[in-house]
Every structure is written in C-alpha cells, then in structure tokens.
C-alpha cells in the first residue's frame, strides 16, 4: 500500500516511524511522473515487506518539496529515522529502482 502524504501528515508517517521509507515526489502535470507511477506501484507491491512506501504530490505539499530540496520530479527519496539517506531523480526502470532500494535496506 502506498500512503499519500502532505504537509500535515508527513512527520507522523515518516519521521516518527522506524524503518526504511521510500517516498516518491511527483506532480500531475509532470509527464515523466506519469511514466514512473506504474513502475513505483509495482516496486511497492514487490518490496512491501521490506519498506514503507508513500508519495507526495508537490503541488499539494510545497513545504515538503522545499524542505527536502526537491527541485525536479519525479524524485524518490529514501528516509531512515526521519532523515534522507539517498535519493534518485528522473525516469528510472523498475530493476534500477529495486536495486536502489535494496542497496539501502
């Protein structure tokens, strides 16, 4: 399950929950984001036992985008203990996204 996060619920869902959190930052107007959406969904399904998955629409959460310096979307940020431990930007294939996440488990 992919949680939808915003300025109000991000800290409760990510900062205060232990484990690895994979968060996709995206926007509806972003063509590459639409391409990445099904890839992210598949990865979340496959790795659901290894990490928490969430997404942030930057148009509805500009404070979060600014806080984590998300300047380009799509972007995937990995959080552990509320801190960013790694990130990737752009349209990336499923295999590379899985390797990226597994490298940080």
Domains and CATH numbers, the chain: 2-103 (3.40.30.10)
Residue 36: both structure tokens together? 């990445």
Closest by CA position to 5, among listed 54, 44, 48, 43: 54
pLDDT the model gives residue 16: 87
Alpha-carbon separation of residue 21 from 29, 30, 89, 92 (angstroms): 25, 23, 16, 18
pTM, to two decimals: 0.93
Scored b (16 or more CB within 10 A) or e, 58-78 reads beebeebbeebebeebbbbbb
Q: 21-71, pLDDT tens digit by residue?
A: 999 999 999 999 999 999 999 999 999 999 999 999 999 999 999 999 999
pLDDT the model gives residue 9: 95
Catalytic residue numbers, as ranges: 30, 33
Q: How far apart are CA 46 and CA 19, in angstroms?
A: 17
Q: How confident is the model at residue 81 (pLDDT cuts 50, 70, 90)?
A: confident
Q: 84-94, pLDDT tens digit by residue?
A: 999 999 999 99
Residue 1 has pLDDT above 90, yes or no: no
């Amino acid at each position: 399950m992919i949680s939808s996060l915003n300025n109000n619920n991000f800290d409760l869902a990510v900062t205060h929950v232990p484990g690895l959190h994979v968060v996709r930052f995206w926007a509806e107007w972003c063509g590459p984001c639409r391409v990445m959406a099904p890839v992210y969904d598949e990865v979340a399904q496959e790795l659901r036992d290894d990490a928490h998955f969430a997404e942030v629409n930057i148009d509805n959460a500009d404070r979060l985008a600014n806080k984590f310096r998300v300047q380009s979307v799509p972007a995937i940020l990995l959080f552990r203990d509320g801190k960013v431990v790694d990130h990737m930007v752009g349209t990336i294939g499923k295999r590379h996204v899985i390797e990226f996440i597994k490298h940080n488990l």
